Amino acid sequence: MPTIRPITITSEPIELCKLLKIADLVSGGGEAKVVITQGYVFLNGEVEYQKRKKIRDNDVIEFNGEVVQVVVNTRPNTSSVSQKTAKQSLTISLKKKRNNKHKSNQDNTNKSFSDIETPTKKSQKSKRKPISF
C-alpha cells in the first residue's frame, strides 16, 4: 500500500482540481481537470468526476499511485488588540488619502480659469499609426 502524504491547507473547502495542483500530482489546472473528468482520481476510495468537488479536512485523494490526505492547519485567531491596531492604521491611511485629495482640489479652486493648464490637441500624441496604401 502506498504511503499517505499529508497536504496542509489553511482554509477549507478547497476544490479538487486546485488540490491536485498544490499537491504536485499534476503539472497544471488543465491537466487536473482532464484526469478528473476521465475518472483517474479517487476521493475517499471512490472515483470522483467533479472538477470543483469541495475537499475538506481528512479527505484522502488517490491519483497515479500516490495518496494524499488533506490536513487543515487551524491557526489561532490573531488577538483583538492586533486587529484593532490594523484597523486604526487603515483608518489613518484612508484619512491621509482624503486629506491629500482635498488639498489638491483646493489648489485648483484657488486658481483662475486661465491659470489652469489644459492640453492642446497638438501636444497630445495619437497612439494610432498612420495608414498608408
pLDDT tens profile 94-126: 556 566 655 555 555 555 555 555 555 555 566
Q: Which H or E element spans position 130?
A: none
Q: What is the pLDDT of residues 53-92, one digit of tens each?
A: 999 999 999 999 999 999 988 765 554 445 555 555 555 6
Q: Which H or E element spans position 54?
A: strand 54-55
Q: Would you kindly state where each structural domain of the chain is located, as residue ranges?
A: 4-72
Q: Per the CATH hierarchy, to which homologous superfamily does domain 4-72 belong?
A: RNA-binding S4 domain (3.10.290.10)
Report the distance separating Cα 7 and Cα 60, nearest Å.
Answer: 10
Instruction: Return the residue matching grid coordinates 475538506.
Output: 56
Report the distance separating Cα 53 and Cα 74, nearest Å.
Answer: 21
Within 13 Å and on the Cβ side, how many CA atoms surround 99?
Answer: 6
